[in-house]
Amino acid sequence: MALKFEVLGKFNRARAAQLTLPHFICQTPLFMPVGTQGTIKGLTNIQLEEIGCQLILGNTYHLALRPGAELIDELGGLHKFMNWKRALLTDSGGFQMVSLLHLADITEQGVTFQSPVDGKPMLLTPEESIQIQNKIGADIIMALDDVVKTTITGPRIEEAMYRTLRWIDRCISEFIWNCARRIRSCFTRYMCQRFGGPRFTRKANLTSYWDSYAIGGLVGGEDKDSFWRVVAQCTASLPEDKPRYVMGVGYPLDIVVCSALGADMYDCVYPTRTARFGTALVPEGILKLKNRAMANDERPIDLTCSCMVCKNYTRAYLHGLVTKDAMGSQLLSYHNLSYMMRLSKNLHTSIVEGRFPEFVRGFLQTQFPRGDVPEWVCNAMEVAGVDISSCCTPLASWHD
């Protein structure tokens, strides 16, 4: 198994690890910016490297549409096409297909959908998903799963779970028989398996073949209480020695909680998307730079941040740029991603250095200075075995 996952430190369920991929050696917990169409919106590769980005996500669905998997393959794979020297991960394309397209129909064969280009019916099979991802050539690829929302109940969930397992077998075959021969000069590809739904069952076939696991199907509108419970259940059941990737997460608070519960990798469009709406991520939560109060605020976005934006620009100046000028989006995206990279690094380092609970307490105290930590966080931390009682004020005292 060429994907190496080495746990360097633990605190109860939380772990800090080194993930060795063909293009880069990553440290987890880590956050992956989403480079949907082969670029992180508004940032150059050099800037991404500068802020400490290790692994980027590319969307198979979007890239297969434009510029096309064949073209990417012809030009040497996505790394070469983008000139990104570090690691890449692609998803299977399934999620977008179901969430973005009308008339998506899921059968045993695969996902039938309407092509956005000419409206003709198209079929994405597990085999084809692997083939497309193989052409794109990321370090980590994903098996196609039968995507179900967590809010769905009934027999559909079980149907989806077993179909996913059958599809995964098909993905493996395709990978072994048809992709292995196409190993490129310096990397091979790895498979992930996706589990989702509130009724995870241990009947699932956890073979040792898998390099890593992804927990998906969340971020579809479920409440936070269900969310953390699903993550907790999955991390409890999945093997210790392989990375766990919670897809579509997310808010800094969610990442801290999931890391405490034993997850390792995250991706989300939130930091860059919210930047384009003028919202900055700060230790206290968020800062809305469009707010009139910012117009004459001479402080940087975050006094504790040492990114290029915070070292050079004031809130007052950025107030005039955000949502109006491209430069505003760029600068805010730069800061927000710096924040996420810093968060990842802090999570990793605090676990390795044996001060994870202190870090969590500091994080929560900064975000909830009045002690109003949400109940779901308290419950999750209890399960994770992290004592945050000092961060939570009893209800009586702040309800006066």
Partner 1 sequence: MRFVAAKACAGSRARAGALYIGGNSAAPIETPSLLISTLKGLPAFISRDHLGDLPAPDSHLLHVSPIHFLDCPATKTICTIGGLHQMVGLHDHFFIASPRDSLESLPESDGTNKLGASFETPSGRQLVKPSAYMEMITSLMPNLWASMADEVPAWVSDKRNKTSVDRTLRWLDECINLDLVYENALTCTVEGGKNVLGFVVGGSSIEERKRCATEVAARNVSGFWIGGFGLGESIEERPALLHAVTDSLPEEKLRLVSGLSLPEEVLQGVAVGVDFFDSTYIYHLTLRGFALIFPHNIVDEDIVDRPLDDYPNDCTKINLRATIFRKDTSSIVANCTCFTCQNHTRAYINHLLNVHEMLAHILLEIHNTHHYLGFFRTIRETIKNGKFDLFHKKFIQSRRIHLASVVQYS
Site string for partner 1, 301-340 (x = CB under 8 A): -------x--xxxx-xx-xxx--xxxx-xxx--x------
115 part of the interface to partner 1, by CB under 8 A: no
CA distance 315 to 265: 31
Could you please report the per-residue DSSP string of 300-311? -S-TT--SHHHH
CA distance 341 to 84: 17
Q: Which residue has the tokens 């997310």?
A: 250
For the CB of residue 385, give the shortest distance to partner 1 in the complex, in Å.
Answer: 42
For the CB of residue 199, give the shortest distance to partner 1 in the complex, in Å.
Answer: 38
Q: Which residue has the tokens 């048809």?
A: 178
CA distance 192 to 212: 5
CA distance 124 to 104: 11
- Residue 91 falls in the annotated catalytic set: yes
Which residues, numbered 129-158, are part of the site for partner 1 (CB under 8 A)?
none
User: What does residue 214 show for φ and ψ, rounded to 5 degrees?
Assistant: -120, 140
Estimate the crossing angle of helix 375-384 against helix 224-237, to 10 degrees. 10
For the CB of residue 178, give the shortest distance to partner 1 in the complex, in Å.
Answer: 24
Using the minimum distance from each CB to partner 1, give the nearer residue, 28 or 330: 330
CA distance 290 to 268: 23
Using the minimum distance from each CB to partner 1, give the nearer residue, 70 or 375: 70
64 part of the interface to partner 1, by CB under 8 A: no
Which residues, numbered 266-305, are part of the site for partner 1 (CB under 8 A)?
295-296, 298
377 part of the interface to partner 1, by CB under 8 A: no
CA distance 168 to 25: 27
- Residue 223 falls in the annotated catalytic set: no
Q: Of 193, 111, 195, nearest to 158 (Cα)?
A: 195
Which residues, numbered 75-94, are part of the site for partner 1 (CB under 8 A)?
75, 81-83
Of residues 74, 159, 358, 382, which one binds partner 1 by CB under 8 A? 74
Size of the site for partner 1 (CB under 8 A): 42
Q: Give the count of beta carbons closer than 10 Å to the beta carbon of residue 98.
A: 17
Using the minimum distance from each CB to partner 1, give the nearer residue, 185 or 208: 185
Using the minimum distance from each CB to partner 1, give the nearer residue, 108 or 298: 298
Q: How far is CA 15 from the centre of its chain?
A: 17
For the CB of residue 57, give the shortest distance to partner 1 in the complex, in Å.
Answer: 15
Using the minimum distance from each CB to partner 1, give the nearer residue, 66 or 203: 66
Which residue in the list 139, 146, 264, 267 is annotated as catalytic? 267
Instruction: Tell me the two tokens of residue 325.
Output: 């000028």
For the CB of residue 36, give the shortest distance to partner 1 in the complex, in Å.
Answer: 9
Estimate the crossing angle of helix 155-174 against helix 126-136, to 10 degrees. 50
User: On the CB side of 74, how many CA atoms lie within 13 Å of its CA?
Assistant: 5
Which residues, numbered 33-62, are part of the site for partner 1 (CB under 8 A)?
37-47, 50, 62
Which residue in the list 91, 146, 211, 264 is annotated as catalytic? 91
For the CB of residue 179, give the shortest distance to partner 1 in the complex, in Å.
Answer: 23
For the CB of residue 391, give the shortest distance to partner 1 in the complex, in Å.
Answer: 36
Sequence-ordered list of residues with C-beta below 8 angstroms from that of 370, at least 6 positions apart, any chain? 393, 398
Q: Of 268, 9, 245, nearest to 140 (Cα)?
A: 245
Annotated catalytic sites, by residue? 91, 267
Binding site for partner 1 (CB under 8 A): 37-47, 50, 62, 66-67, 71, 74-75, 81-83, 295-296, 298, 308, 311-314, 316-317, 319-321, 324-327, 329-331, 334
